[in-house]
Amino acid sequence: MNIVYFLLPLALFLGLSFLGAFVYFSWRGQFDDLDTPAHRILLDDDEQVKIINAKSNMKGSTT
C-alpha cells in the first residue's frame, strides 16, 4: 500500500494544477462569453484559412 503515499500527492498535484489553470483563465475572462464562440466556430473565415494555408506552406518549404 506504500504506493498510495506516492500516487495520492501526485494525483492531488495534477488536480490542483488544472484547478490553478481554471482559476487563472477565469480571471483572464475566458469564460465571460459562453455563447458566441459556439457560433463563431461554425463560420469559415477566409482570412484565417489563408493564414493557415500560408503557415502550412511555410512549414512545407522549411522541411
Partner 1 sequence: MLFQLKFKRVWRPVVKFTRHPSLSQTLAYSVQLNICTMTRALALQTVCVHCGSFFSTSTSQQFCCAGCEFVYGLITASGLDHYYKLKDDSPPLCPLPVVSSTANYDYCDDLVYQKTLSSDGRKLRFYIEGLNCTACLWLLEKLPKFCPDAEFARVDMSTSIIEVTRVANGSFAEIARTLNRFGYRPHPLSETDNSAKLQTRERRQDLVRIGIAGALTGNIMILAVSLYGGATGELASEFRWLSAELAAPVLSYCAWPFYRSALSAIRAKHLNLDVPIVVAILAGILMSCWNLITSIEHVYFDSLSMLVFLLLSSRLILRTIQNQQLRSTHLENELLLGEVRRITLSGTAEVVSSLALAVDDKIKIDVDRIIPVDGYVVSGEGTISAAVLTGESLPLSVRVGDYVEAGSQVLSGDWTLEVKNLPAQTRLAQILRDTETSSREKSNFIHFADRIASWFVVLVFLSALAVIGYFWETDMVEGASRALTLLIVTCPCVFGIAIPLSMSLAIRNAAKQGIIIKNGDSIERLWDTQTIVLDKTGTLTTGAMDAVCVAKTKDCDFSYALGLEQNQTHPVARAISRYLKDLGVAAQLFNDVRPLASGGVSGEMNGHSYVLRPVSNRSDSHTEALMITTAGMSETQKPYVNHNILQSDIGFFKNDQLVAKFALGDKLREESAPLISWIRRQGFDVAMVSGDRDRVVQACAQYIGLQRSEIYSEVIPEDKAKFIRSLGQGTVMIGDGVNDAMALAAADVGIAVCGSLDVSLRVADIYLTRNHLRLIPQLLSIARFTKGAIVRNLVFSACFNFISGTFAILGLMTPLWAAVLMPLSSITIVLSTVWTGNKIAKASVTL
- 32-51 footprint of partner 1 as x/- string (CB under 8 A): xxxxx--xx-xx--------
Least distance to partner 1, CB of residue 58, Å: 25
12 or 52: CB nearest partner 1: 12
The residue within the footprint of partner 1, chosen from 7, 13, 19, 55 (CB under 8 A), is 19
17 binding partner 1? (CB under 8 A): no
- What single letter denotes the amino acid at residue 63? T
What's the DSSP call for residue 56? Answer: H
Q: How would DSSP label each residue in 19-51?
A: HHHHHHHHHHTTTS-SSHHHHHTTS--HHHHHH
